[in-house]
Amino acid sequence: MTIEKIGVIGAGQMGNGIAHVMALAGYEVLLTDINQQALDQALETIRRNLARQVGRGLVPEADMEDALGRIGSTLKLTDLGATDLVIEAATERESVKQAIFEDLQPHLRPHTILTSNTSSISITRLASRTDRPERFMGFHFMNPVPVMQLVELIRGIATDEETYRACLGVVERLGKTAASAEDFPGFIVNRILMPMINEAVYTLYEGVGNVKSIDQSMKLGANHPMGPLELADFIGLDTCLAIMNVLHDGLADTKYRPCPLLTKYVEAGWLGRKTGRGFYDYRGDEPVPTR
């Protein structure tokens, strides 16, 4: 099937990044959110990030204007019914995602493919609540979307080959690389990454090292571009905790037990960069470790 028009649900960090790369690749994009301010901010973020790419010589200025012209926005979820592919990038809560698909489903074309940008929730289970499990799959972008080259494609138990091939074609048109993952908790990237971050939090919790020494050790000792606690703040501590809970519940192994300190930070509302405080305090000119 031919995919030309793409709907993106959620105008947050992931949603605006997905809209950005899709429009730049020539797709017509319709971005939706429940909040007009979020949509306005997303469009401004896309414009700013495209301008940065133009400034670095990565994107011609004419392509930037063309891409911006291909992005529409709406507060009505049902407007996405006329698209060929829907990518849900809403809050990482299964009940929220299920409600979105339930509301959208009656308005979809028969051929429309439904996908979720979930980082850990079962694709098979999400698909089973829709009228098209064979045309449903995981479409997991990495953050920040315009920069990161990998996209995880996750097939549910019912996903058909045509749907997989259509989504693979989109990834290739974006100039990114697809990694095929089976539908198990955390898929590939987060199955490996999140336990490492969680172990870093345990290392802090148990007093083995402080924030600075833990991050410095992994940057200089393992050549990681960001320390694990710095990376957790970038991702969002609430997202890290949600993924660890999915791993712990889905795999029933104590090695995936979320660190109590991670839970405490989330309870405090210290979620990382997006709230101004996490393992670092971002409210000043330079980030300062909070422990």
* Residue ranges of the binding site for NAD(+): 10-15, 33, 92, 97, 119, 143, 274
* Strand 150-155 to 177-182 pairing: parallel
Catalytic one of 119, 120, 122, 198: 119
Q: Is 119 designated active site?
A: yes
Task: Respond yes or no: is residue 152 known to be catalytic.
Answer: yes
Could you tell me if 117 and 140 are in contact, meaning their C-beta atoms sit under 8 angstroms apart?
yes
Q: Which of 16, 116, 140, 230 is catalytic?
A: 140
First to last CA, the chain: 53
Q: Which residue has the tokens 């930037």?
A: 64
Count CA atoms within 13 Å of residue 120 on its CB side.
24
Considering only CA atoms, give the Rg of the chain.
19
Measured between alpha carbons, how far is residue 181 from residues 67, 119, 137, 185, 187 in Å?
30, 12, 11, 10, 6
Q: How far apart are CA 221 and CA 209, in angstroms?
A: 14
CA distance 77 to 99: 11
CA 131 to chain centre: 24
Given 49, 190, 198, 230, which residue is catalytic?
190
Q: Which residue out of 88, 94, 152, 230 is catalytically annotated?
A: 152
Do the beta carbons of residue 231 and residue 197 sit within 8 Å?
yes
Q: Which residue, among 255, 256, 262, 245, has the nearest Cα to 206 in the 3D structure?
A: 262
User: How far, rounded to the nearest angstrom, does the alpha carbon of residue 55 sit from its chain's CA centroid?
Assistant: 26
Active site residue 190: yes
Give phi and psi for 128, each to the nearest 5: -65, -20
Binding-site residue numbers are 10-15, 33, 92, 97, 119, 143, 274
Residues with Cβ within 8 Å of 194's Cβ and at least 6 positions away in sequence, in order, are: 186, 240, 243, 244, 247
Dist. CA 291–CA 279, nearest whole Å = 7
* Active-site amino acid positions: 119, 140, 152, 190
